[in-house]
A = this chain, B = another copy of it.
Amino acid sequence: MRILVLGGDGYLGWPVALHLSARSHEVVVVDNFLRRNYDLELGLGSLVPIATLQRRVARWKEVSGREIAMHVVDITDGYATKRLIEEVRPEAVIHFAEQRSAPYSMIDRAHAVHTQANNVVGTLNLLFAIAEVDPSIHLVKLGTMGEYGTPNIDIEEGYLEVTHRGRSDVVLYPKAPGSFYHLSKVHDSHNIHFACRAWGLMATDLNQGVVYGQATEETAMHPDLATRFDYDHVFGTVLNRFAVQAALGIPMTVYGKGGQTRGMLDIRDTLACVELALANPPSAGQLRVFNQFTETFGVLELAERVSKVVGGAEIAHISPPRAEAEEHYYNPAHTKLLDLGLRPHLLDDDTILSLVELGRRYGAGVDQSVMLPTIQWRRPGPPATGDAGH
């Protein structure tokens, strides 16, 4: 299959591109290096050194004998996006090309506007390009479990059957997300839903949970193929961050009580889920939604798991920077990918230990000043002096 991976230089885009290339798909990666620019803007960096995209692609050819083509395109440029789709003529587009950090979107007005404009406009351009060039291209779009928020009812996969005053309908699952980033994904979902209804496009929305892990079968083949690993308070996801804190012997920072419960998955399962979505496309006019995670964990529970694995590590409950419930009901469905054959890598001690070991191996390069949260959800003003973010 000819597959375009947008955001193919990122934490997940790059391993997905390698995984699909290794399985004989014809892979084209596209990026505009916005993610690496955010690092420059905020003074952050990957724990694990990462090669340039050019070097990654060259090394992959050397190691595997397979070619991955690369294009530098900003998909907020509608003309460039259409030309890209015309030239590559993919059978599927995997769309990772969005600003993906909730804290980043909450820095201030400019970052909220950037996040929503970048994500919504890029996705709109892509929808138009697919509809104009070839409506049978399967759009595989990365959404997030965070779109749902934490409702008091069970979370279903994308849709909800509602009976109301004696009548019934199936509606898009109502969303109440907790950041301007998560909201941008809700906007995307509504736009994609409409494009499927009006133009007959076919799309899969992967509402992904929090991903942990770093090594995949392919990225482990050579240091130049490694994917990034973020431990900072802006882009570092919870388990990855805890593992680095434990490795350095500094307290794992739990926001408030730590009763926030989230769906999570191993990076290797992200690859498998994307592959399953590609192999089982939806029908024309259908927006199919999968909840892409394998287990739910409480944040404090995760810190305790890490502590146990390393034989004791300190846990610090810090003032919660986010506007979110510290304890809540959470019961999201996640059967559709299992029904397609997903065999999850559930979180085990070995995986936790491998992350801690990553932290130990690269610990000398860690900048501890970027690990404590400084972006405040409840205060919309520009950052006070001393805040990170500028």
Question: A residues engaging B (CB < 8 A)?
Answer: 78, 82, 108-110, 112-113, 116-117, 120-121, 124-125, 127-128, 131-132, 151-154, 160, 162-165, 167-169, 171-180, 183, 186-187, 190-191, 193-195, 197-199, 323, 329, 377-378, 380-382
Contact = CB atoms under 8 A, between A and B. Distances in A.
Given A152-B169, A167-B153, A187-B187, A116 B121 contact: yes
Given A78-B109, A109-B125, A132-B380, A190 B167 contact: no
Contacts of A191: 116, 180, 183
**Most chain B beta-carbon neighbours within 10 Å: one of A116, A117, A168, A174:** A174
A172 B169 contact: no
Contacts of A193: 176
Copy count, this protein chain: 2
Contact of A381 (B132, B169, B173, B174): B132
A113 B121 contact: yes
Contacts of A164: 153-154, 160
A345 to B, nearest CB: 29
17 contacts: A109-B124, A120-B187, A128-B380, A153-B162, A154-B165, A154-B167, A162-B162, A162-B174, A167-B329, A175-B190, A176-B194, A180-B194, A183-B190, A183-B191, A183-B194, A198-B380, A199-B380
A195 B380 CA distance: 9
Given A116-B124, A120-B116, A380-B131, A171 B151 contact: yes
A128 B153 contact: no
A78 B108 CA distance: 11
Nearest to A161: B164
Given A124-B180, A127-B380, A198-B378, 19 more contacts: A78-B109, A78-B113, A112-B128, A113-B121, A128-B380, A132-B381, A152-B168, A153-B169, A154-B164, A162-B174, A167-B329, A171-B176, A173-B174, A177-B194, A183-B187, A183-B194, A186-B187, A197-B323, A198-B377
B165 A172 contact: no
A187 B132 CA distance: 24
A381 B86 CA distance: 13
Nearest to A106: B198
A85 to B, nearest CB: 12
Contacts of A199: 378, 380
A176 B120 CA distance: 17
Nearest to A174: B171
Nearest to A172: B174
Contacts of A121: 113, 116-117
A165 B153 contact: yes
A376 B110 CA distance: 35
A159 to B, nearest CB: 9
